[in-house]
Structure 1
Amino acid sequence: MTGAKQRTALPFWVFVGPFVIGLAIFAYLPIGWSAVLSLFDAHNTVTPTEFVGLGNYADMLADDRFLRSLLTFSLFALFVVPLTFVLSLALAVAVNQVRFARTFFRSVFFLPTACSYVVASLVWKLSIFNGVRFGLANTVLGWFGGDTVAWLSDPNPPWYWVVLVTVRLWLQVGFYMILFIAGLQRIPATLYEAAYVDGAKPGWQVFRYITLPQLRPTSVAVLLLSLIAAYQAFDEFYNLLGTAQGYPDFARPPLVYLYYLALGQNQDYGHGSAGALILALLIALVTLTQGKLLGLGRRD
């Protein structure tokens, strides 16, 4: 390496080096050790000696509770991802067209992103959807003659999905709105001018044939990021549905199930690690499939 390249590389490693070291210690090393634990019978120890091979993986794939948890988080993603896309895009278009106080509205919608998932979950659980007559949601229903709803304690009908989905939307829509606003501001104004000259009508026609195609890279990024975030749901499920008696069987996502499996009374790190790696592989597979279907990396 020449002296010029060394002088160029030194500042790069000074800034990047600490993050690479932190990533290796707090991310790659735990993942690697988790892969090792998944091949052993690891009860109450992180240094097991009894090798079981792929037995833990077979047990997890035959575990009805784990499979039901995968179905739960798939339903959660099915609700959250499309709604996040539509709402964040609609907000971005509306805020981008505001002629005054644009920064104010952008900040207002983005502000919930800075809120803790735990705090937001507790507000939703104790104040808005607490299931008693004086809760905000039930108070509003009472104005229209509706009955009191036990939002989180009754799985039939599954009103808990309303609580889980709305808190996630409130927390993340503002972030994706900012991404869409950045994409909207990159669209050349000349495209709209040419469309109007050719007779295009403002509104849905221009949005469908000009705005939406130009937002394709941003749309792909939003869908992928929101999908991965939905698959990693934990805080809202754990804090909204967890009680002093434990966690209910319904609406149990994989991370909550693995949390109780690995850190519960049995402390079964072997099966917990195997389940975590199965979940990671499933997330990677679904993400790659979605990216392929959406044309991620394809030249326009």
Structure 2
Amino acid sequence: MTAGGTEEAVTDVPAPRAAPGPGAGPRSPGARWLGPQRRNLWFWVFVGPFAIGLGLFTYVPLVWSVYLSFFDAHNTVSPSGSDFVGLGNYGTMLSDPAFLGSLGTFALFTVFIVPATFALSLALALMVNRLRFARAFFRSVFFLPTACSYVVASVIWKLSVFNGVRFGLANTVLGWFGADQTAWLSTTHPPWYWLVIVTVRLWLQAGFYMILFLAGLQRISPQLYEAAAVDGARPGWQVFRHITFPQLRATSVAVVLLLVINAFQAFDEFYNLLSDARGYPPYARPPLVYLYYTALGQDQNLGLGSAGAVILALIIAVATVVQARWFGLGRKEE
């Protein structure tokens, strides 16, 4: 307000701008790629070597195996265009009685090993979970065989436990009861070699699945058991059937899926138990043993071996998806 009563126009004066921070302003493409405080750079420093190794030694061989399956690749991993056979290798494998027989061997092995491992690992988990003392000790003891190599365990089973001569452990025990000696790995009627193969795999992997079941048991709320006791449920089979086992549904489905996939990949115990200086016998050949002799045997037909490997991978994928849908894996609990 001036002395003459007139009012001066007041102009808006813009406030001073704050100084730009260190992160403001245009950033170069290199700075954006490195990320704030070079986090992206350190990420690739630590992860890069493992990613490169995974790509070179896993994904590149997988892709190249699929590529070889369309060629007549005898004694070579780089066939020429004239060796292209399309789906011929797949047709040959699917019509080969030996390959189909190897799939039957897998199915029989699955029938033996999946229920046996499931029941034993669940029983061990229930027993260890009920212990009031030394729980960590027994958990470690049962899990310890998992750290053993399949090759080493197979050699022990072959030379010490189920040796076909008199100083084998199994024959020694049978001799105490007056039974005759048994050639466990060469007797086909009855097929005693299945006892050797199943028991070594059972000893090796039961501890691992016991840990999975233990984790599932520890997630069950104690209030469920208290409510069952109030309702008059008897401890033991009744509580296990109506409370414990239903609460282990997700764990049980995961265990079954892993067991079936591992059965598909059986190789070490079969090869190290049954092969000798004369080669591998004509019986009990799982898919990987058959593909091993197809690709690396006398003919070295890498095209047929690759086609068989692709077929086996597709069977594993389909079986896994079907089981997951059948058991409702990932479905929300009601």
Shorter-chain TM-score range? over 0.9
The equivalent position to 2:79 in structure 1, one of 44, 48, 56, is 48
TM-score, structure 1 normalization: 0.96
Matched, 1:22 2:53: yes
**Could you say which residue in structure 1 is the equivalent of 2:109?**
76
Change (3 A) 1:51 1:4: closer
Amino acid at match of 1:76: F
**Could you say which residue in structure 2 is the equivalent of 1:153?**
186
Q: Percent identity?
A: 71
Alignment of 1:219-298 (within 5 A): 219-298=252-331
**Structure with larger RCO (C-alpha < 8 A, sep 6+):** 1
Question: Shift in Å at residue 20 of structure 1?
Answer: 2.9
The equivalent position to 1:196 in structure 2, one of 229, 235, 243, is 229
Q: Deviations over 1:186-221 (max 9, x none)?
A: 111111111111111111111111111111111111
Q: Deviations over 1:46-105 (max 9, x none)?
A: 010110000001001111111101100111111101111110000000001111111110
Structure 1: gaps of 5 or more residues:
none
Q: How many equivalent pairs are there?
A: 300
Structure 1 or 2: more helix by fraction: 1
CA distance in 2, matches of 1:193, 1:2: 57
**Could you say which residue in structure 1 is the equivalent of 2:68?**
37
Change (3 A) 1:5 1:145: farther
Partners of 2:34 and 2:41 within 8 A in 1? no
Amino acid at match of 1:87: L
CA distance in 2, matches of 1:259, 1:92: 36
CA distance in 2, matches of 1:37, 1:237: 26
**Could you say which residue in structure 2 is the equivalent of 1:127?**
160
**Could you say which residue in structure 2 is the equivalent of 1:182?**
215
Change (3 A) 1:6 1:40: farther
Amino acid at match of 2:272: N
CA distance in 1, matches of 2:220, 2:128: 15
Partners of 2:34 and 2:40 within 8 A in 1? no
CA distance in 2, matches of 1:75, 1:203: 33
Structure 2: gaps of 5 or more residues:
1-31
Aligned residue for 1:276, secondary structure, equals helix
**Could you say which residue in structure 2 is the equivalent of 1:91?**
124
CA distance in 1, matches of 2:196, 2:36: 55
Question: Shift in Å at residue 19 of structure 1?
Answer: 3.2
Q: Deviations over 1:3-59 (max 9, x none)?
A: 988877666555544333322211111010000000000001101011000000100
The equivalent position to 1:171 in structure 2, one of 191, 200, 204, is 204
